Structure 1
Amino acid sequence: MSAAATGPTTSIWGRTEQQDFRSRVRGSLLGGAIGDALGAPATHLTLDAIRARYGPEGITGPTGAEPDNGATHTPAPPARITAATQLTLFTVDGLIRAQVRRDTGAWHPPTDVHRAYLRWAATQRDWGPDERRKDNGWLAREEWLYSRRDPARACLLGLADDVMGTLDRPKNPDARDPAALTRSGPFGLLVGWEPQLVLQLAVECAAHTHGDPAAYLSAGAHAVIVHGLARGESLDAAVQRTLALLAQRPGHQPVTDALQHALGAVRQGMPSPGLVASLGEGHLAQEALAIAVYCALVGEDIRHGLLLAVNHDGPSAATGTLCGTLLGALHGETALPPGWLAELEGRSTLLELADDFAMEMTQGPALHGPAVNSPGWLARYPRA
């Protein structure tokens, strides 16, 4: 990563711009989590099975989930997230830590994001937070995150040791599922970066667990689309910009073709599960991205787009996460369905992290640097 890839500073952010940015950050993270929770109960079901369980219209809102480990005495929240949202939270944590660590002269965001993913991996094997690790920061001390929520095998294997996957030596070279893709939205919220640098960072961090070019380029493509939306572009314009950047990358054709198919499906008539199915089931990363983009483009509102994204044969949690991330970044938090948001698991954590990210990206120099250090901020996001 280039040292020139710096985030925005307060000198270029007015109050209105800061408020709009915070709304889009909140919208992206909360929207992705809502889509994740909507799709989670159906992620291993066919469309016919979804309709058989939930009625002819399929999923129409948060449906709840089975209690952890089958413990029937433990009530499940109506909108319970999966590993996709867990990892997205740690992506944000890693990006904040990368900005804070710049003060030390250490500037390699892929390393900081990888360390954040290792903290997530600890939540998948430990009973609870290790209070002795003061350098873990606040997110890794959130006890509710210490729960396995259908994590992808490639994520568990890729983060099973401290060795960081790189583009030259990626982890799981044959992994093509959308798990690296679903955690990549926060890279697009680096609105002070150039799009090609956002693409590069997302691709490098996807290679920590997913080494197939279609998988890591899908992650990069999603990040660049979010980046355009967070900057105020239309979804169509953001996709077109992404296609232009992808064309410069070896191995881009499966992802480019998938996005082109999504754009073509928009022109084929009224939105329908049949048109969603024409884009694939979503078990491959580029298919999941195409489904999410299509549903976001044709959705009459966020509710309609998300329901279209989760009622299909494939991994509904993944496509719901991606679609919600796009629509939340496009419209901001106030456009999210309030009833669904009220039932969302971990909402307070998502909001806290979103606001911390927005503060770091807009006011970081006032929190830490050569002339000032906020002890509270550095306790939340240690440099170590």
Structure 2
Amino acid sequence: MQEKEKYQMIQDKISGCVFAGALGDALGYVVEFDLYSSIKNKYGKDGIQDLLRTGEEAIISDDTQMTLFTMEGMSVETEDEVEEKIYLSYLKWAQTQGMSVKLPCDWPSRLAMVPKMNCRRAPGNTCLYALTSGKMGTIQEPINHSKGCGGVMRTAPLGFTDAYGLPLLNGAKAAAITHGHPLGWIPAGMLSDIVFKCIYGEKKPLKLIIEESLADTKNQFGESESMAYFEQLIKKAIALSEAACEEDASTIEKELGGGWVGEEALAIAIYCCLKYPDDIRKMLIAAVNHSGDSDSTGAVAGNILGAYLGMDAIPKDWLDRLELVDVMQEQIDAMMKIIQRE
């Protein structure tokens, strides 16, 4: 494969990851705090089926905001370690949410200058409190004991390149900035690893990619007491995706949880991606129609299947309704400059 073709393929997969994640986020954001019974009452017996506009466009939540700030942090050229760059970028995000945060140095941010990126879209309290503490959490020195999904929902971009080292480890480090429990950062590391394998690995069934990623995650974090439970839950999600189950919402809620915590969000995303591995629209509908954290499960699921299938699989009629597409494209272009310099 020629260099130009290789980079086009990489950009296609990265774009798929970003845009499908944002679509899942936007689809789920309007029902994030609703019980599934309420969703059905409002949108019909099958739940929400279409991307809804709020005003002129379908709007994204804090999940996509933080994903974009992750990308911007990765793209800034400094000698800092990648998690330190991302931390500074997250501090800029916290400022856009109206929080009083001082940065230890000047930090350029085009995203912070975008008016729509300065809107509060149900930001997670754990993220806000951690970023206003004045301390950056790490795996070795956790800032709290939170395992909320606010770590995993933003770390897909760490799988866009291995220029900064192992994506699996970097994804976990980025989540540990705000989420100190191992189940707050282990799923984040695995998400980054899955995305990396989808973009750069051999073409193979998505199930095999996820199983390989789970094995690598176990090898990396096997000393954690939480790893056995995490492995069990992910294997359960894989098995459920192949079983003749009742409706997806019932399976998700009874077997995998609500997605409010990191391991459940990733498990739900994996279940939905493996249940509908060739259809992003169907997959995202399944990923958000439940009583839990619909925008985060939709975002993570979109990240995975978007990276696996690329842009041709993105529902174009949905993408046409999505806000901030041009801003997302700017971050993708900036990321490609990093990759092409490797």
Normalised to the residue count of structure 1, the TM-score between the two structures is 0.81
2:87 equivalent to 1:114: yes
Q: Which amino acid aligns with 2:263?
A: Q
Q: Which amino acid aligns with 2:118?
A: Y
For 2:85 and 2:45, locate their aligned partners in 1 and report how far apart those are by CA, in whole Å: 46
2:283 equivalent to 1:311: no
Provide, for residues 280-313 of structure 1, a one-character-per-residue CA deviation record: whole Å limited to 9, x for no partner.
Answer: 1212211111110110111150100000001011
Please say which of residues 265-274 and 297-306 is displaced more in the overlay. 265-274
Aligned to 1:58: 47
Q: Contact 1:254–1:286 at 8 Å: present in 2 too?
A: no
Q: Which amino acid aligns with 1:122?
A: Q
RMSD, matched Cα: 2.0
2:67 equivalent to 1:91: no
Number of paired residues? Answer: 329
2:5 equivalent to 1:16: yes
Aligned to 2:185: 216
Correspondent of 1:48 among 24, 34, 37: 37
- Once the two structures are TM-superposed, the CA of residue 139 in structure 1 deviates from its matched residue by 2.0
Q: Contact 2:82–2:164 at 8 Å: present in 1 too?
A: no
Question: Secondary structure of the residue that 1:266 maps to in structure 2?
Answer: helix
Q: Contact 2:218–2:227 at 8 Å: present in 1 too?
A: yes
Aligned to 2:19: 30
2:261 equivalent to 1:284: yes
Aligned to 2:60: 81
2:222 equivalent to 1:246: no
Q: Contact 1:126–1:146 at 8 Å: present in 2 too?
A: no
Aligned to 1:343: 321
Correspondent of 1:296 among 273, 295, 299: 273
Provide, for residues 218-252 of structure 1, a one-character-per-residue CA deviation record: whole Å limited to 9, x for no partner.
Answer: 11111111111112443212211221122231131
For 1:360 and 1:13, locate their aligned partners in 2 and report how far apart those are by CA, in whole Å: 19
2:118 equivalent to 1:146: yes
For 2:48 and 2:132, locate their aligned partners in 1 and report how far apart those are by CA, in whole Å: 35
For 2:12 and 2:260, locate their aligned partners in 1 and report how far apart those are by CA, in whole Å: 31
Q: Which amino acid aligns with 1:276?
A: I
Provide, for residues 205-225 of structure 1, a one-character-per-residue CA deviation record: whole Å limited to 9, x for no partner.
Answer: 111110011111011111111
- Once the two structures are TM-superposed, the CA of residue 27 in structure 1 deviates from its matched residue by 0.7
2:231 equivalent to 1:256: yes
Aligned in 2, Cα 1:134/1:205: closer, same or farther, shift over 3 Å? closer
Question: Secondary structure of the residue that 1:16 maps to in structure 2?
Answer: helix
Aligned to 2:306: 328
Q: Contact 1:26–1:332 at 8 Å: present in 2 too?
A: yes
For 2:138 and 2:144, locate their aligned partners in 1 and report how far apart those are by CA, in whole Å: 11
Q: Map residues 121-136 of structure 1 onto 2, 5 A cutoff.
A: 121-125=94-98, 135-136=107-108
Instruction: Detail structure 1 runs of 4+ shifted over 6 Å in the superposition.
Output: none
For 2:243 and 2:300, locate their aligned partners in 1 and report how far apart those are by CA, in whole Å: 22
For 1:222 and 1:295, locate their aligned partners in 2 and report how far apart those are by CA, in whole Å: 14
Q: Which amino acid aligns with 1:43?
A: E
Q: Contact 2:53–2:321 at 8 Å: present in 1 too?
A: no
Which residues of structure 1 form unaligned runs of 5+?
1-11, 66-75, 128-132, 366-384
2:244 equivalent to 1:272: no
Provide, for residues 256-302 of structure 1, a one-character-per-residue CA deviation record: whole Å limited to 9, x for no partner.
Answer: 12210111102211563222222112122111111101101111501
Q: Contact 2:89–2:107 at 8 Å: present in 1 too?
A: no
For 1:283 and 1:122, locate their aligned partners in 2 and report how far apart those are by CA, in whole Å: 24
- Once the two structures are TM-superposed, the CA of residue 126 in structure 1 deviates from its matched residue by 6.5
Aligned in 2, Cα 1:135/1:313: closer, same or farther, shift over 3 Å? closer
For 2:210 and 2:188, locate their aligned partners in 1 and report how far apart those are by CA, in whole Å: 13
Q: Map residues 359-374 of structure 1 onto 2, 5 A cutoff.
A: 359-362=337-340, 364=341
- Once the two structures are TM-superposed, the CA of residue 107 in structure 1 deviates from its matched residue by 4.4
Q: Which amino acid aligns with 2:248?
A: S
For 1:339 and 1:246, locate their aligned partners in 2 and report how far apart those are by CA, in whole Å: 36
Q: Contact 2:242–2:275 at 8 Å: present in 1 too?
A: no
Q: Contact 1:77–1:344 at 8 Å: present in 2 too?
A: no
- Once the two structures are TM-superposed, the CA of residue 193 in structure 1 deviates from its matched residue by 6.6
Q: Which amino acid aligns with 1:53?
A: K
Question: Secondary structure of the residue that 1:42 maps to in structure 2?
Answer: coil
Percentage of pairs with the same residue: 30
Q: Which amino acid aligns with 1:119?
A: K
- Once the two structures are TM-superposed, the CA of residue 46 in structure 1 deviates from its matched residue by 1.2
Q: Contact 2:284–2:302 at 8 Å: present in 1 too?
A: yes
For 1:58 and 1:274, locate their aligned partners in 2 and report how far apart those are by CA, in whole Å: 12
Question: Secondary structure of the residue that 1:48 maps to in structure 2?
Answer: helix
Q: Which amino acid aligns with 1:22?
A: Q
For 1:275 and 1:255, locate their aligned partners in 2 and report how far apart those are by CA, in whole Å: 18
Q: Contact 2:124–2:150 at 8 Å: present in 1 too?
A: yes
Q: Contact 1:202–1:223 at 8 Å: present in 2 too?
A: yes
Aligned in 2, Cα 1:108/1:26: closer, same or farther, shift over 3 Å? same
Correspondent of 2:147 among 176, 192, 197: 176
